[in-house]
Chains A and B, each alone.
Chain A
Amino acid sequence: MASDAPPPEPVPDSATPATPAHPTTAQFVEVQESAEFAELRRTYRSFAFPLTVAFIAWYLLYVLLSNYAGGFMGTKVFGNINVALILGLAQFVTTFLIAWIYSRHAARRLDPGAQAIKSRMEADA
């Protein structure tokens, strides 16, 4: 409602964006086109995208095997533990593993580059 006077001093997080030091669109475009940012994007995408395809494919393989390869899945490996249970538990293991690998990758290869760009942009703004 336009009749209300706009808040004189926008509280942080009011309806209008008021974060500390927000760079201009031109600055964002410039950074987006920089080699440094392209490298960061490549490092992120070349890791996250293929890994996503891989774990979804691995999960779908498991779903399809459960559906259409009952005999194979029922093969007992030791005691009452069969292939189905081992593959199911393997999905848990790979999930934990991928989470760990990604967080290590992000901490080592993504965070420093991201932080450098952020600090510079916010200082420039």
Chain B
Amino acid sequence: MSHPVALMSGPVEVPLQLAAAGDASEHRPLIITLFGLFVVATLVITVWAGRQTKSASDFYAGGRQFTGFQNGLAVSGDYMSAASFLGIAGAIALFGYDGFLYSIGFLVAWLVALLLVAEPLRNSGRYTMGDVLAYRMRQRPVRTAAGTSTIVVSIFYLLAQMAGAGVLVSLLLGITSDAGKIAIVALVGLLMIVYVTIGGMKGTTWVQMVKAVLLIAGTLLITFLILLKFHFNLSDLLGSAASNSGKGAAFLEPGLKYGATATSKLDFISLGIALVLGTAGLPHILIRFYTVPTAKAARKSVIWAIGIIGAFYLMTIVLGFGAAALLKPGDIIASNKAGNTAAPLAALEIGGGAGSTGGAILLAVISAVAFATILAVVAGLTLASSSSFAHDIYANVIRKGEATEQEEVRAARWATVAIGVVSIALGALARDLNVAGLVALAFAVAASANLPTILYSLFWKRFTTQGALWSIYGGLASSVLLVLFSPVVSGKPTSMFPGVDFHFFPLENPGLISIPLGFLLGWLGTVLSKEEPDKGKYAELEVKSLTGTGAH
């Protein structure tokens, strides 16, 4: 998944290569070899998984036979994007403490999923988020709304990942030409289409598990080497980082990134709320809970995910401050203005510096891990949107529940191809735009449109179809519109379209307004609706969600 962090903190720069650390091309063969190994290994897994994918339940839910631990790994692999790996480390390397603030919201958010969403969702749904939202409502309007919201959230997310992938990989490989960047976006898109159409959820889950192991192993290695260098004294590490950054004690305190103005402080609150409430409304995360057999296993997945993701974010602190301590701030910025290459540069440095074999190996390892990370995340996003298209919109709205299982899966595969092709095209077009703000938007939409509807559906007896539609469409429209008229899109040098200015909403993140609005509209739509809630359906949903009776 992608975390807004670095990707949203600066314009997408002209890749400068890892110039400061030596010529990128000298590392290229090793990096490409490791990329290639990962691609071959995951394709083998995909073909193997594809052979076992027969029913709709296999395609959408991986046969529901993964263990809590396996799914915990896969959830972590789905959630930790290149932006959280490279982005948070980079943000810490440049802004010190403020970079670390992100990771806390991303982690605490999992408690919402654990306490309120994962288990009831597993018990009462089958394949998509829409299953739960539409359970007690009129199917077609609510399925349409849930499918729309799922696809919007996933596509925004996907676009940010695709464009980010192009920038990152070209940076790591030292590719500067437009054709090269487009080729990378196309390659990433093609691989994700193959993973999802052939391997379905089973293949995607294994790819995410492999990626999570690689990411944790790679991060652990660099973290260990950095700590070793500072004799496992965190205070020394922080002290060196502070003095080397040229900012002194302020580097270890909040404020360097968000403390500038009253508006930037409000923006930080808005972002913080969106992060903490958005995670449990992200469709690509939610559908992961269908891959395990029971709610208990879903709970175990979240517990494992919290452990793994928490440990990972703790390591990014060492990675980020380590980069700040070991590298010259000028070198980090020269390589990438947003600090995205701070972690690879730190790996190169800790391995012995430019020109050393150790440095080259570590750089290649970290770059390959970043590539694996991107692929696993885009595969999860593609699967979430094509599942929702096939199951919510095609099977239940267009075909009114009359489609056979084979037809549904065929629709999902074609939707995957279509979404993949569209993402490649948009990703290629957007390669020089700063589309990373779209990730923050995805979180805000998830928190404003999806989470209120999920919570009301599960826990509020009176909730009606009109309430569900108002909260989904209201949350979706308000967050998209507010972002459209925010500095993310226009009016600032860091905007998606820096040349024009039509912004009037001062905050980059709409959550502060759109999340309360989503909750309010769900309530208002319900109390103003003329229809009576379906008591029988609510009894089914509530008893199912708490006990697992009749769960798929």
Contacts and interface: CB of A to CB of B under 8 A. Distances in A.
Given A13-B56, A63-B268, A68-B265, A44 B546 contact: yes
A47 to B, nearest CB: 8
Contacts of B549: 23, 28, 31, 117-118, 121-122
A64 B270 CA distance: 11
B252 A60 contact: no
A11 B404 CA distance: 10
A37 B539 CA distance: 11
Among the interface residues B401, B543, B548, which one has the most CB atoms of the partner chain A within 10 A? Answer: B543
Contacts of B542: 32, 41
Contacts of A4: 404
A109 to B, nearest CB: 12
Among the interface residues B104, B235, B314, which one has the most CB atoms of the partner chain A within 10 A? Answer: B104
B303 A40 contact: no
B183 interface: no
B319 to A, nearest CB: 15
B391 to A, nearest CB: 9
Contacts of B539: 25, 28-29, 31-33
A38 to B, nearest CB: 11
B268 A98 contact: no
Interface string B516-552: 0000000000000000000111111011101111111
B540 A14 contact: no
B404 A118 contact: no
B290 to A, nearest CB: 11
A111 to B, nearest CB: 7
B56 A14 contact: yes
Given A23-B549, A41-B546, A88-B104, A96 B307 contact: yes
A6 B314 CA distance: 54
Nearest to A66: B254
B141 interface: no
A32 B543 contact: yes
B78 to A, nearest CB: 18
B115 interface: yes
A99 B111 contact: yes
Contacts of B543: 28, 31-32, 37, 117, 121
A67 interface: yes
A103 B404 contact: no
Given A13-B55, A117-B543, A22 B116 contact: no
Interface in B299-320: 299-300, 302-303, 306-307, 310, 313-314
Contact of A70 (B238, B242, B255): B255
B234 interface: yes
Interface in A48-106: 48, 51-52, 55-56, 59-60, 62-64, 66-68, 70, 73-74, 76, 78-82, 84-85, 88, 91-92, 95-96, 98-100, 102-103, 106
Interface string A9-37: 00111111101011101101101110001
Q: Is the interface of A mostly helix, strand, loop or mixed?
A: helix
B249 interface: yes
B272 interface: yes
A12 B55 CA distance: 8
Contact of B550 (A12, A15, A22, A32): A22
B426 interface: no
A98 B111 contact: yes
Contacts, number: 200
Among the interface residues A13, A17, A52, A98, which one has the most CB atoms of the partner chain B within 10 A? Answer: A13
B108 A48 contact: no
A76 to B, nearest CB: 8
B292 interface: no
Given A96-B307, A121-B547, A1 B402 contact: yes
A10 to B, nearest CB: 9
Given A2-B402, A14-B56, A84 B253 contact: yes
B535 A29 contact: yes
A16 B401 contact: yes
B108 A91 contact: yes
B101 interface: yes
B448 to A, nearest CB: 16
A103 B299 contact: yes
A81 B55 contact: no
Given A81-B238, A95-B310, A118 B405 contact: no
B408 interface: yes
A60 B272 CA distance: 8
A76 B253 CA distance: 10
Nearest to A51: B115
B225 interface: no
22 contacts: A13-B56, A13-B552, A28-B536, A28-B543, A44-B546, A52-B112, A56-B112, A59-B108, A66-B101, A67-B259, A67-B269, A74-B250, A81-B234, A92-B107, A95-B306, A96-B306, A96-B307, A99-B111, A99-B114, A115-B547, A118-B547, A125-B550
Given A15-B405, A115-B547, 20 more contacts: A2-B402, A7-B405, A19-B552, A21-B550, A26-B536, A37-B546, A52-B116, A63-B269, A66-B101, A67-B265, A78-B235, A84-B252, A95-B310, A98-B115, A110-B546, A114-B547, A114-B548, A118-B547, A121-B549, A122-B550
Interface of A: 1-2, 4, 7, 11-17, 19, 21-23, 25-26, 28-29, 31-33, 37, 40-41, 44-45, 48, 51-52, 55-56, 59-60, 62-64, 66-68, 70, 73-74, 76, 78-82, 84-85, 88, 91-92, 95-96, 98-100, 102-103, 106, 110-111, 114-115, 117-118, 121-122, 125
